[in-house]
Chain A
Amino acid sequence: MTGIVQERGLAHAFETLGAWLLALIWALPLVYAVWTAFHPGQYAAHFDLSAPLTLENFANAWEAAPFARYFLNSFLLVTSVLAGQLVLCTLAAYAFARFAFFGREVMFALVLVQLMIMPDVLIVENYRTMRWLGLVDTVLAIGLPYMASAFGIFLLRQTFKTVPTELDEAARVEGASFLGLLWRVYVPLAKPVYIAYGLVSVSYHWNNFLWPLIITNSVTTRPVTVGLSVFAMVDQGIDWSIITAATLLTAAPLLIAFLLFQRQFVQSFMRAGIR
C-alpha cells in the first residue's frame, strides 16, 4: 500500500515538474521581451543580473514611429467594430429568436456560412469592394467586413431563446414596444454574454493583422499591429531592444487588461470562442 502511495507521489512530482517546464517554455518569449526592453541594447542577448534597468528603449521606440496615432487608430477601430457588432447582432439575434418571419431558416443558414468563410479569406474581393466604395485607407474599411458577425448573432440568439416567453408577454401587456422589450428585457438578461463577446471581439480586432495591412497605407489609418510591422521592417538600424520595447507597447493594453481581469478573460473565452 505504501509502495503505491509512494509511486503515486513520485508520478505526481514528475507531472508537476513537467507542467512547470512547459509553463516556463510558454512564458519564455514574453519574459525575454520584458528583459530586453528594460535593459540597454548591449544586453539584448547577454544576460547579466547586474545589468542596469532603463526606460530609454520605450522612449526611443515612441519617438521612432507615430505610436500615439497608431494607438488612436486601433482604439477607434475596436470601439467602432464593437459598437457595430453589438447593435447589428442584437437586432438580428432578436429577429431569429422571437420572430417566425418568412425565410427565417434559410437566412439563419446563410448567416452561419460566415463561421466557415471569414472575411480574412476574401481579401481580394473585399479590397475591390472597398475601392468601389472609396473607403480604401480608412479605419471604417478595416472594421466594416466584421461588423455583421455570424458568431455574435449565433451567440445572442441562443441567449435570447432562453428568455421565458411569459416575461416577454407580461411586458407586452404593459404596452412595451418590440424595441422597448428588447432594450428592457432581453439586453439586460444577456449582459454576461455581451461582456464575454466584447472581450473576445476587442482582443481579436486589436490583434488582427493581414486585412488592416492590405487596406491601410498611411499613418493616419494604420492600427498598432500594422504600425509595429512597418516599424520593425523599415531598416536594420533599429536594434532589438527598441523593437522589443515597441512590441511590448503594442501588446500592452491587452496584456494589462488580461492581468487585471484574468478570471473574466478566461471565462469569457470559455463561453465565447473566437471572432
Chain B
Amino acid sequence: MHRASVHIYGWLLLLPAAVLLAAFTHYPAIATLVHSLYSTPRGNRPERYVGLDHFADMLEDPIFWQSFHNNIIFALGTIPASIALALLMALWVNGKIAGRGALRMSYFTPTVLPMIAVANIWLFFYTPDYGLLDQFLKPLTGTAHNWLGTRSTALGALMAVTVWKEAGFFMIFYLAALQQIPPNLIEAAALEGADRVTIFRRVTFPLLMPTTLFVLVNAVINSFRLVDHVVVMTRGGPDNATSLLLFYIYQVAFRYLDTGYGAALTVVLLAILAVLALGQFFTLDRRVHYR
C-alpha cells in the first residue's frame, strides 16, 4: 500500500468517531473550564468574566461542602461493601452449592433493572408505617421510622440500594476471573494441608487482584456518576443530607438555572476524576484494566 494512503485511510476511518468524541467529551471538558470563569447569562444581561469568583463562592457554600462530604461517605460506604459482597457471591456460585443457577440469577437480576424502576420499589420499602421495612420493624421497635425523611438514615438508605444494585454486576467479573484460575493451584495448596481460609488468602485472592482493581476503578467512577436514585427517592433531601456532587450540579444548573456555577462545580468533579485517572495510571499496571 502507498505510504501516504495509510495515513489518509486511517484518519478517514477514525474521523466520524473523533468528531463526536471531540464534540461531546473533549470540547465540553475544556468549555467547562472556560465557562466556570464566567457569570451565568440572564435575560438581557450577557455573561461576563468573573475570574475565580465561582470557586470563592464554592468555598463558602455549605451545600457544596455537604454534597462533597456526602459523596465521600457514599463512596467509602458503598465501594467496599459491594466489592466484598460481589466476591462472596462469586465464590458461592462458583463452587458446588445447591440451586446455583437460581442464586446466580437472583444476585445478577438487579443489574439489568433500571435504577429508576428499582428506586420506585425501594421507595415503598422505606415508607414510614406503611412500608415493608416498618411492617417488619414496627412490632419490634414500637415506632414508625421515616428512613428517607430523617437526616441520620437517608444517605444510608440510598447506599443500601446502591450496594444492592451493584454487587451482582461486580460478581460477574469475579466469577469470570475465578473460572480462569487453574484448578491444580488450589489442589496443590490443599495437598500441602492448607485449609480453605488459607487457600483463599494465599492463592485465590492474590490471583483475583487484577479483577479487584478493575472492579474498584469501575466502582469509584460509578460513585461519582450514579444519582438516579437520589433524583427519585430523596431529591437530595432532607436538608441536603443525600445530595451528591453530580446531583448538586444537576440541581444548580437545571433547577436554579445557574449554569456558570454549575460549570464551576463540574470542574471540581472533573478534577476529582482526573486525579483518580492519574492515580490509576501511575499506581496500577495498565494491563490490569484492559485484558
Q: Are A110's CB and B21's CB within 8 A?
A: yes
A255 interface hit (Cβ, 8 Å): yes
Q: Within 8 Å CB of B200, what residues of A?
A: none
> Beyond A45-B130, A214-B250, is A30–B113 a contact (Cβ under 8 Å)?
yes
- Nearest CB in chain B: distance from A152 CB, A: 9
Contact of A123 among B114, B125, B250 (CB under 8 A): B250
- Nearest CB in chain A: distance from B179 CB, A: 9
Contact of A121 among B27, B31, B270, B277 (CB under 8 A): B270
Provide the bound-state CA to CA distance between A17 and B18, in Å: 52
A67 interface hit (Cβ, 8 Å): no
Provide the bound-state CA to CA distance between A119 and B168, in Å: 24
Q: Are A29's CB and B121's CB within 8 A?
A: yes
The count of chain A contact residues (Cβ–Cβ below 8 Å) is 90
B243 interface hit (Cβ, 8 Å): no
Q: Are B121's CB and A244's CB within 8 A?
A: yes
Q: Within 8 Å CB of A118, what residues of B?
A: 221, 225
Decide if the interface of chain A is mainly helix, strand, loop or mixed. Answer: helix
- Nearest CB in chain B: distance from A205 CB, A: 11
- Nearest CB in chain A: distance from B103 CB, A: 5
> Beyond A92-B13, A124-B259, A251-B114, is A111–B21 a contact (Cβ under 8 Å)?
yes
Provide the bound-state CA to CA distance between A234 and B262, in Å: 27
Provide the bound-state CA to CA distance between A117 and B98, in Å: 42
> Beyond A19-B97, A23-B107, A88-B17, is A124–B228 a contact (Cβ under 8 Å)?
no
CB closest chain-B residue, reference A36? B124
Provide the bound-state CA to CA distance between A23 and B8, in Å: 55
- Nearest CB in chain B: distance from A215 CB, A: 10
Beta-carbon contacts of A209-248 to B below 8 Å, as 1s and 0s?
1100110000000001110110011000000100110011
B80 interface hit (Cβ, 8 Å): no
- Nearest CB in chain B: distance from A244 CB, A: 7
Provide the bound-state CA to CA distance between A158 and B17, in Å: 17
Beta-carbon contacts of A20-47 to B below 8 Å, as 1s and 0s?
1011111101101100100000001100
CB closest chain-B residue, reference A182? B13
Q: Within 8 Å CB of A244, what residues of B?
A: 120-121, 124
Near B by CB (< 8 A), chain A positions 95-152 give: 95-96, 99-102, 104, 107, 110-111, 113-114, 116-129, 144-145, 147-148, 150
B29 interface hit (Cβ, 8 Å): yes
Contact of A129 among B23, B105, B114 (CB under 8 A): B23
Q: Within 8 Å CB of B110, what residues of A?
A: 26, 29-30
Of B14, B172, B269, the most chain A CB neighbours within 10 A belong to B14
The count of chain B contact residues (Cβ–Cβ below 8 Å) is 90
Q: Are A45's CB and B132's CB within 8 A?
A: yes
B63 interface hit (Cβ, 8 Å): no
Q: Are A114's CB and B120's CB within 8 A?
A: no
B266 interface hit (Cβ, 8 Å): yes
- Nearest CB in chain A: distance from B215 CB, A: 10
Q: Are A23's CB and B176's CB within 8 A?
A: no
Provide the bound-state CA to CA distance between A210 and B230, in Å: 10
Q: Are B121's CB and A124's CB within 8 A?
A: no
Q: Are B253's CB and A101's CB within 8 A?
A: no
- Nearest CB in chain A: distance from B6 CB, A: 5
CB closest chain-A residue, reference B259? A124
Near A by CB (< 8 A), chain B positions 4-45 give: 6-11, 13-14, 16-21, 23-29, 31-32, 35
Q: Are B124's CB and A91's CB within 8 A?
A: no
Q: Within 8 Å CB of A123, what residues of B?
A: 249-250, 253-254
Q: Are B108's CB and A228's CB within 8 A?
A: no
CB closest chain-A residue, reference B169? A269
| Besides the known contacts A266-B104, A269-B108, 14 further A-B residue pairs in the complex with CB atoms under 8 A apart | A16-B97, A26-B107, A30-B109, A91-B13, A100-B10, A101-B14, A110-B21, A111-B17, A123-B254, A125-B32, A207-B114, A265-B112, A269-B111, A270-B176
10 shortest interchain CB distances as A-B pairs: A101-B10, A99-B10, A125-B28, A148-B20, A95-B13, A145-B24, A92-B17, A207-B114, A23-B106, A270-B176
Cross-chain pairs A/B with CB under 8 angstroms, 10 sampled: A15-B97, A26-B168, A29-B110, A89-B17, A119-B25, A121-B224, A210-B228, A229-B231, A232-B120, A270-B172
A-contacting residues of B (Cβ < 8 Å)? 6-11, 13-14, 16-21, 23-29, 31-32, 35, 85, 88-89, 92-93, 97-99, 102-118, 120-122, 124-125, 130-132, 135, 164, 167-169, 172-173, 175-176, 218, 221, 224-225, 227-228, 231-232, 246, 249-250, 253-254, 259, 262-263, 266, 269-270, 273-274, 276-277, 290
